Amino acid sequence: MDRGADIGQTLRTLAPQVLGALVRHHGHFDACEDAVQDALLDATVVWSERGIPESPKGWLITVASRRLADRWRSETARRRREATVAALESSEHPAPPAPAVDDTLALLFLCCHPALSPPSQVALTLRAVGGLTTAEIARAFLVPEATMAQRISRAKAQISAAGARFHLPEHERQERLGAVLQVLYLIFNEGYVATSGLDPHRVELTSEAIRLAREVWRLLPGDGEVAGLLALMLLTDARRPARVRSDGALVPLAEQDRRRWDRSLMREGSALITDTLSRAQVGPFQIQAAIAAVHAEASRAQDTDWPQILALYDLLAQSSTNPIVLLNRAVAVAMVHGPRAGLDLLAELDADRSMSIHHRLHAVRGHLLERAGDRVAARAAFDEAIRRATSIPEKRYLQAQAVRLANHGDAQN
């Protein structure tokens, strides 16, 4: 790994721990988060020149604390904060020491404060705990970057205005759990299917999402949806070794060498969801994990039990209006009832603006049109998907499909 990538991974890992240390010591979530972002930018420059320091967490905490003091000194209410600034700079009150404990989980629940709307909870946590950029979060929500920047800024202000304390809220844990699970799901997805850049995977994100999901499951072992989400992550991540060829090209699920799937993750995920479904109330994450388990059971793509998968998607659609769920259901319908049946369902998604601008809708349409024998329309759909894709590996995969269809047409002429 080159120095730049090593620095990026280190900063992403330490950012929530540094923020947790500052909030625990000083309060003022919004000011602390801004100070940590400044420290991360400083680290990117300084560490690139001098290398990563011996104690990177301590370095970040010290720099962020100084930035926090600078911010408070420049405010119009400086007189009321003179004592706080003096304490920050005093030799008797240095920057908070690097804690031995990992505050990431406590920070996760803090960001999901009930004063925030669910979308704001998710967005803020992705920024503060997941380490995603505003642009990456905006793509996860299918909204413009400027809109997401405003949402995050308002969420930070609301957290501070609510006087939220830095601790794991026992009595509010269940109330915040839905947002926490959605956050972890989006962090995992951004790592498994990177929405931008040259890399098809961002392992640091999938690993962190799985780690945090394990921590939440350890706290709430009887919650079916926590177990379902963890099982879904494990079963999905098990396919990662087979998802990319040696030249970096993406490999669709139907073409993957299943011998390369991580069997230990598959066994763990399958056992977890099997146990959970037998004793817990069924929820959306458990259903998605069950779908992943059905895929895992098939040693070959042609052995996949698509009727069972469609039945599970039918059940999932009863409790979810997520357009991605409906898109995946259309694929299952096509596998059971033929491509034209799937295309009819895709036509219904065209009215959903968030999906009509998403490359996946057009990519799926291209695949189904090709299966239906309409290669000209399929190529047009792939061309549209190429225009909308933001991930370089996905764009290259789609371009290969379009070229293949064009060559097929030339061979017939």
Tell me which residue range forms the domain holding 95.
1-100
Q: What backbone torsions phi and psi does residue 20 show, to the nearest 5 degrees?
A: -60, -40
How far apart are alpha carbons 116 and 387 in whole angstroms? 35
User: What local confidence, expressed as pLDDT, does residue 93 receive?
Assistant: 45
User: What local confidence, expressed as pLDDT, does residue 14 receive?
Assistant: 87
Residue 398 within any structural domain of the chain: yes
Contact 393, 200 (CB under 8 A): yes
pLDDT at 167 over 70: no
Residue 294 within any structural domain of the chain: no
Q: What backbone torsions phi and psi does residue 250 show, to the nearest 5 degrees?
A: -70, 145
Element (H, E) at 165: none
Highest mean pLDDT among 216-225, 295-304, 354-363: 295-304
> What is the CATH classification number for the domain harbouring 312?
1.25.40.10
Residue 139 within any structural domain of the chain: no
% the chain with pLDDT above 70: 87
Of the listed ranges 129-133, 311-315, 399-403, the one predicted with least confidence: 129-133
How far apart are alpha carbons 406 and 400 in whole angstroms? 10
User: What local confidence, expressed as pLDDT, does residue 226 receive?
Assistant: 95
Where does a domain end: 100, 126, 146? Answer: 100
Residue 185 within any structural domain of the chain: no
Q: What is the CA radius of gyration of the chain?
A: 23
User: What local confidence, expressed as pLDDT, does residue 33 receive?
Assistant: 87
Residue 296 within any structural domain of the chain: no
User: What local confidence, expressed as pLDDT, does residue 224 receive?
Assistant: 94
Contact 238, 266 (CB under 8 A): yes
**Over the stretch 132-161, which tens digit does the pLDDT of each residue have?**
778 878 877 768 899 999 999 999 888 878
Where does a domain end: 100, 131, 149? Answer: 100
Residue 176 within any structural domain of the chain: no
**Tally of structural domains, the chain:** 2
Among the listed residues 79, 2, 314, 160, the one whose alpha carbon sits nearest the alpha carbon of residue 328: 314
Residue 400 within any structural domain of the chain: yes
User: What local confidence, expressed as pLDDT, does residue 80 receive?
Assistant: 55
Contacts of 86 (CB under 8 A, 6+ apart): none
pLDDT at 181 over 80: yes
Residue 125 within any structural domain of the chain: no
Among the listed residues 332, 335, 323, the one whose alpha carbon sits nearest the alpha carbon of residue 141: 323
Where does a domain end: 77, 100, 123? Answer: 100
391 forms bridges with which residues in the sheet?
A: 197
pTM over 0.95: no
Contact 342, 330 (CB under 8 A): yes
**Over the stretch 325-379, which tens digit does the pLDDT of each residue have?**
999 999 999 999 999 999 999 998 988 888 888 899 999 999 999 999 999 999 9
**Over the stretch 38-94, which tens digit does the pLDDT of each residue have?**
898 899 899 998 899 988 999 999 999 988 888 777 664 555 555 555 555 544 445
